[in-house]
Amino acid sequence: MKKDIIIPVVKDVNVAIIHEFNKEFLDKEWNAYVLNNRAEPIEMVLIVSKGYDDDKLTSTMRHSIASLEGNSYAKVEMLQEDVLQLNNEFFVTFFADNKLFEKRFFFEKNTVTEANLTTIPLIEKDGILAK
């Protein structure tokens, strides 16, 4: 019975936190993005995010994207500096190839810093990819 259940593996979809300039506030901010590196679109994308530590827990945030084209990305949310001091996780669920996919993306506390920035290929901005 259990051996008959096929759980599809998520490939070429990721979450990144990008450090970018906000023209409206004239300051840099941290934004979470979902990246679709697949050639085909993903649909009904649901993102559930939260930050936590031993004694702290943020609100659970829920976001949806109807469709995300292949080789594209979408901004999910802005992250405050205080939240980056916590473990941050993003559960991403989507449909592709007539299958339901789900993956947990994780950022350890205090790892989202300017010292750890690398160029994210699809976006071409400095950021950090989730584990």
Query: Tens place of pLDDT for every residue, the chain, 131 residues?
Result: 677 777 789 999 999 999 998 888 788 999 999 999 999 999 999 999 999 999 999 999 999 999 999 999 999 999 999 999 999 999 999 999 999 999 999 999 999 999 999 999 899 999 999 98
- DSSP H stretches of helix in the chain: none
Helix (H, G, I), strand (E, B) or coil at 17: strand
pLDDT at residue 110, as a whole number: 92
pLDDT at residue 1, as a whole number: 66
Structural domain contains residue 26 = yes
Number of domains forming the structure of the chain: 1
pTM, to two decimals: 0.91
Structural domain contains residue 67 = yes
Structural domain contains residue 4 = no
Here the tokens at position 11 are 């490939």
Amino acid in position 93: T
Here the tokens at position 110 are 């205090």
Structural domain contains residue 5 = no
Structural domain contains residue 3 = no
Domain, as residue range, for 29:
12-129
DSSP bridge pairs for 77? 32
38: domain CATH number?
Answer: 2.60.40.1600
Alpha carbon separation from 93 to 4, 42, 52, 57, 96 (Å, rounded): 21, 10, 20, 22, 10
Helix (H, G, I), strand (E, B) or coil at 35: strand
pLDDT at residue 29, as a whole number: 94
Alpha carbon separation from 34 to 18, 21, 24, 68, 128 (Å, rounded): 11, 18, 23, 9, 12
